[in-house]
Structure 1
Amino acid sequence: MRIQKALINFSKIKDNELVSYAQKIVLKMTNNPNFTAPLPDLETVQAAITLYTAALIKSKDGTKEDTANKVALRRALENCLSALGGYVNQTVGTDLTKLDSSGFNLSRTPSVVGILDAPTLDVYYGNNSGEMFFEIGADPHATEYIVLYSPLPAPADDAEYYTKIFSKSKGMISNLTSGIKYIFKAAATSSEANKMGIYNFSNPVEKFVP
Structure 2
Amino acid sequence: MATKFKALIGFTRMKDDELMVTAATIIGAMTDNVHFEQPTPALAAVQELLDDFSAKLTAARRRGSPEETALKNESRLPLEAALRQLAYYVNGVAEGHLSTLLSSGFPTNGANGSVQVPLKTEGVKLSDGRQSGQVRLDFDKQRNVLMYEYQYRLQGENEWSERFATSSSRANIIAPLTAAERYEVRVRALNTQGTGDWSDNATMVVR
Normalised by the length of structure 1, the TM-score is 0.50
Unaligned 5+ segments in structure 1 are 110-210
Q: What amino acid maps onto 1:81 in structure 2?
A: L
Q: What amino acid maps onto 1:50 in structure 2?
A: D
In structure 2, C-alpha distance between the alignment counterparts of 1:18 and 1:104, rounded to whole Å: 11
SS at match of 1:57: helix
- How far residue 108 of structure 1 moved from its aligned partner, in angstroms, is 4.2
- Number of aligned residue pairs: 110
Which residue of structure 1 lines up, in the alignment, with residue 37 of structure 2? Answer: 36
Which residue of structure 2 lines up, in the alignment, with residue 47 of structure 1? Answer: 48
Equivalence map 1:17-32=2 (5 Å): 17-32=18-33
Which residue of structure 2 lines up, in the alignment, with residue 92 of structure 1? Answer: 94
Q: Percent identity?
A: 38
- How far residue 97 of structure 1 moved from its aligned partner, in angstroms, is 1.1
In structure 1, C-alpha distance between the alignment counterparts of 2:9 and 2:108, rounded to whole Å: 9
In structure 2, C-alpha distance between the alignment counterparts of 1:4 and 1:12, rounded to whole Å: 21
Which one has the largest radius of gyration? 1
Which residue of structure 1 lines up, in the alignment, with residue 68 of structure 2? Answer: 66
Alpha-carbon contact 2:5-2:97 (below 8 Å) kept: no
Q: What amino acid maps onto 1:18 in structure 2?
A: L
Which residue of structure 2 lines up, in the alignment, with residue 8 of structure 1? Answer: 9
- How far residue 62 of structure 1 moved from its aligned partner, in angstroms, is 3.1
- Structure showing greater relative contact order (alpha-carbon pairs closer than 8 Å, 6 or more residues apart): 2
In structure 1, C-alpha distance between the alignment counterparts of 2:81 and 2:3, rounded to whole Å: 25
SS at match of 2:13: coil
In structure 1, C-alpha distance between the alignment counterparts of 2:13 and 2:75, rounded to whole Å: 16
What do the CA deviations read for 1:18-48 (whole angstroms, capped 9, x no partner)? 1121001000000000000000000000000
Normalised by the length of structure 2, the TM-score is 0.51
Alpha-carbon contact 2:49-2:78 (below 8 Å) kept: yes
Unaligned 5+ segments in structure 2 are 112-207
Comparing 4-13 and 39-48, the one that deviates more: 4-13
Q: What amino acid maps onto 1:84 in structure 2?
A: L
- How far residue 95 of structure 1 moved from its aligned partner, in angstroms, is 1.4
- How far residue 96 of structure 1 moved from its aligned partner, in angstroms, is 1.1
Alpha-carbon contact 2:4-2:96 (below 8 Å) kept: yes
Alpha-carbon contact 2:98-2:110 (below 8 Å) kept: no
In structure 2, C-alpha distance between the alignment counterparts of 1:17 and 1:97, rounded to whole Å: 23
Moved over 2 A (4+): none
Q: What amino acid maps onto 1:56 in structure 2?
A: L
